[in-house]
Amino acid sequence: MLYDINIDDARVGYRTDGDGSFSRVLFVEKSRKLNPRGAAFSSYSPAYVSSNEQLQSIMQILKPAGKNCLAIAGSGDAPLFLSAYGAQHVDTFDISYNARVVMDVKTYMLKNNFCFYDYVHVLRDIQTAPDVLNCLSRDVVVRAVTHDTLEYLHGMRKCRIFMHTSNGEIACFPDSTEFVAMKQNVSGRYNFIWSDLFDLSGRITDKKYDIIYLSNVLQYVNATSDIVAVLNNMRTHLNANGVIVVDSLLQSLALARHAKYKLVEQEICNWANLIYDKSAMTMFLKIR
């Protein structure tokens, strides 16, 4: 099967007891084994159906028009906003295959001219569905994904594919202009690289980008030396004047003048500046 999806492994990541029911707490314990460097995510962990980031403000700072971007797939919102704001090309990656599923569902709806109400309705429906192949939006999901993904979803029946942000609401909507721009600028499914951050550099070989969007990913990397290693690896994929959207964790560490932040800053200060933007509530790494 394509992408080495291993349904047995996937089930191990979710199983909590004999009946295969889902428990987040135990799941997190299991996923630690699957992804020893990060706390909460694994190859099959549920994907958020919406971002909780200040994407409008972040885009105004990034100005992605005409730029080449690499973005965490996550909820699919970061790649979609980059496209809406005119990015020339967006590659995506994520450790979890389920991020690809939610991203493909969104791009399908945009390319098939769903109205905003239906778009939101489907997202609300799938984010809580215990079985996405047996929910009201089943037909949308089935049409949106590739054959391999559909086979995967069948294998994952009864496992959670999606999850919602803490208050259960869809946190980040495009406004009407952004929604139209998404429809115009998204050309179809994004190229998805199913990869842990630590293997990503090897997977994109000599590709270079103007923007690398890692926001809310590094916070799941525990060791400072690992954060520095990821940033140094990503440096080799940045064009001159490139930017990495770093994180909210680094930002709160910076505000607290935490030793971990100082260490990261020290390690990269010969090639980059870390800049915190209050309106976007996000930290950006800019090449010197």
CA pair distance 214, 187, nearest whole angstrom: 22
Count, residues near ligand SAM per rule CB under 6 A: 22
**What kind and span of H or E run contains 1?**
none
Q: Tell me: does residue 51 bind ligand SAM (CB under 6 A).
A: yes
H helix runs in 40-155, sequence order: 55-62, 77-84, 97-111, 116-127, 138-144, 147-155
Q: Tell me: does residue 41 bind ligand SAM (CB under 6 A).
A: yes
Q: Tell me: does residue 247 bind ligand SAM (CB under 6 A).
A: no
Residue 277 has phi, psi (to 5 degrees) of -110, 120
> For ligand SAM, which residue of 49, 78, 181, 227 counts as binding (CB under 6 A)?
78
Q: Tell me: does residue 178 bind ligand SAM (CB under 6 A).
A: no
Stretch that binds ligand SAM, among 18-26, 59-67, 95-103, 152-160 (CB under 6 A): 95-103
> For ligand SAM, which residue of 5, 27, 38, 90 counts as binding (CB under 6 A)?
38
Q: What separation in angstroms does the CA of 101 have from each of 49, 63, 140, 195?
A: 10, 27, 12, 15
Please, which residues have CB within 8 angstroms of residue 180's CB and are 6 or more apart in sequence? none
Q: Tell me: does residue 242 bind ligand SAM (CB under 6 A).
A: no
Q: Tell me: does residue 72 bind ligand SAM (CB under 6 A).
A: yes
Q: Tell me: does residue 127 bind ligand SAM (CB under 6 A).
A: no
Quick check: 40 and 220 in contact, CB under 8 A? yes
User: In whole angstroms, what separates CA 161 from the centre of its chain?
Assistant: 14
> For ligand SAM, which residue of 129, 156, 197, 283 counts as binding (CB under 6 A)?
197
Q: Tell me: does residue 137 bind ligand SAM (CB under 6 A).
A: no
Q: Which is nearer to ligand SAM, 125 or 247 (CB)?
A: 247
- Closest by CA to 79, choosing from 213, 201, 227, 207, is 213
Q: Tell me: does residue 220 bind ligand SAM (CB under 6 A).
A: yes
Q: Which is nearer to ligand SAM, 152 or 270 (CB)?
A: 152
Residue 65 has phi, psi (to 5 degrees) of -55, 125
Q: Tell me: does residue 96 bind ligand SAM (CB under 6 A).
A: yes
Q: Tell me: does residue 105 bind ligand SAM (CB under 6 A).
A: no
What is the smallest separation between the CB atom of 224 and ligand SAM, expressed in angstroms? 15
